[in-house]
Structure 1
Amino acid sequence: MQYTRITSIEDPLFRKMHDLMKEVFPPEEVLEFSLWKEPLEDPSIRVFVAVHEDEVVGCTEYRYYPGWKIAMTDFTIIGKPGLSIGRFLAQNRMKDLRAVAEANGEELFGMFAEIYDPYRVAHYEFGGVKPMDPYVRREVLSHLGYKRLDFPYVHPSWNNDGEAVSGLDFCFMPTNDEVTEVPAQLVADFLKKYYSVLSNKPQEWLDMVAKLEQQQTVSLLPL
């Protein structure tokens, strides 16, 4: 299996990756094909696919933020069971992120991720791919070391229609297991930067960020 970076929508592997995303994720979570042009060309956004027998069987997108010493996992997709794709992606992603942090003269502090909470939302569609079942994914991410940030979370819809998307937790995986909280301003600053590409923010999201900015820290809770 190859861990291959994609930097252009012209890459034939990107079409396969985008098709896989549409098979797995709800429509409001998938950015339209042409809108990927700039993100893929952005050197700070790292999109990799797992290629097995010339097919894209998994993919992950993440980015590193110099100065903050943190990363964000945008998404991880496992397209087929029985190939250890999740472990393959997680190991290669961490190896790559540590190298990027080192190139910036830093040490990775941790990584953010949005994680579906199937205990609050009755039904999610994930294309019938069992490894992508939200109960399975939540437990796997817990095993990896992700912890839930202690605040009610919503995010703006990627349709940029001003709708607030709920049913997720915002989580953080510290590289040091002894870390029990993170600065609230870091969380707020990160969310503002991360969603700066969307011009139409829901009021619920704006209120959430404003409340974070009034706090000192955010606790990390079991996932």
Structure 2
Amino acid sequence: MTYHRITSIDDRYFKPFHQLLQTIFPPEEVLEYELWREPIQDPAIYVYAALDGEEVVGATEYRYYKELRVAMTDFTIIGKASMGIGRFLMRNREQHLEQIMKDSGTVSLGMFAEIYDPYRAGIHSFGGVSPMNPIVRREVLSHMGYKRLELTYVHPSWDHEGAAVSELDLCFLPQNEELSELPALLIVSFLTGYYEALPNKPEAWHAMIEQLKTKETVKLAPL
């Protein structure tokens, strides 16, 4: 497989990549095709496709906030089972992030990710691809070391409708496995920066941010 970065919607692999997104995720989690034009050109946003020949069989998007010393995995998509796609994407992402940290002279505290709670999410077929089943994904991410932040989490829908999506947990993969909490203001800084691109946010999101500002720390719990 080839680890191919996509930096333009005019890239010949962008259309099959976007179609894979639409196949895997529910509509409220997928940014419209044309709305990708500007953000995908941002040098700080890394969108990579896993190519099997000319076929897009997986993808991942991530970023690193050197001023906060945290990374974020926006998504990891496995388009086919039994090809080692998840491992391929994870290792390439890890190696790239290590180089970014080296270049920026920073050491990461860890990586955020939004992870579906299968019991709140109900039934999502996720394209009928078994590795993308919410129960499977959650257990895999738990094995990787992700922990759940103990807060009632909502995020703005990516369809720009401003709906509050509450079927996911905000989680964190700490570099130090013994880490048991995060500073609340670190979470606030991360979330306000991450969702700056979505001006239409629900009141529930603003209330969550204000509640976080009243705390000193947020505990990390088993996923």
TM-score past 0.5 threshold: yes
Q: After the TM superposition, which residues 61-210 of structure 1 pair with which residues of structure 2 at under 5 Å, given as runs?
A: 61-210=61-210
SS in 2 for 1:200: coil
Q: What's the offset of the Cα at 1:15?
A: 0.8
**Which runs of structure 1 show a deviation greater than 6 angstroms over 4 or more consecutive aligned residues?**
none
Residue 97 of structure 1 contacts residue 108 of structure 1 at CA under 8 Å; is this kept in 2? no
Letter in 1 for 2:92: N
Query: Could you tell me which amino acid in structure 1 is paired with residue 180 of structure 2?
Result: T
Amino acid at match of 1:181: E
Q: Which amino acid in the other structure matches residue 176 of structure 1?
A: N
Query: What code does the residue aligned with 1:173 have?
Result: L
Shift of residue 9, structure 1, vs aligned partner = 0.6
Deviation of the 1:123 alpha carbon: 1.2
CA drift at 1:76: 0.6
CA RMSD of aligned residues (A): 0.8
Query: TM-score with structure 2 length normalisation?
Result: 0.98
d(CA) in 2 for partners of 1:116 and 1:122?
A: 10
Q: Does 1:4 align with 2:23?
A: no
Identity of aligned residues (%): 56
Secondary structure in 2 aligned to 1:196?
A: helix
Paired residue secondary structure (1:127): helix
Cα deviation, residue 176, structure 1: 1.2
Q: Which residues of structure 1 form unaligned runs of 5+?
A: none
Cα distance, 1:125 vs. partner? 3.1
**1:35 matched residue in structure 2:** 35
Letter in 1 for 2:130: K
Paired residue secondary structure (2:126): coil
**1:45-97 CA-partner distances (Å, limit 9, x unpaired):** 00011101210100000000011110110011000001110111111111111
Whichever residue aligns with residue 47 of structure 2, its letter is: V
Task: Measure, in 1, the Cα distance between the counterparts of 2:144 and 2:204.
Answer: 30
1: CA distance, partners of 2:13 / 2:132: 21
Q: Which runs of 5 or more residues in structure 2 are unaligned?
A: none
Q: Aligned pairs, how many?
A: 223
Q: CA deviation at 1:161?
A: 1.5
Deviations 1:88-126 (A, max 9, x none): 111111111111011100112100000000122321131
Q: Which amino acid is 1:56 matched to?
A: V
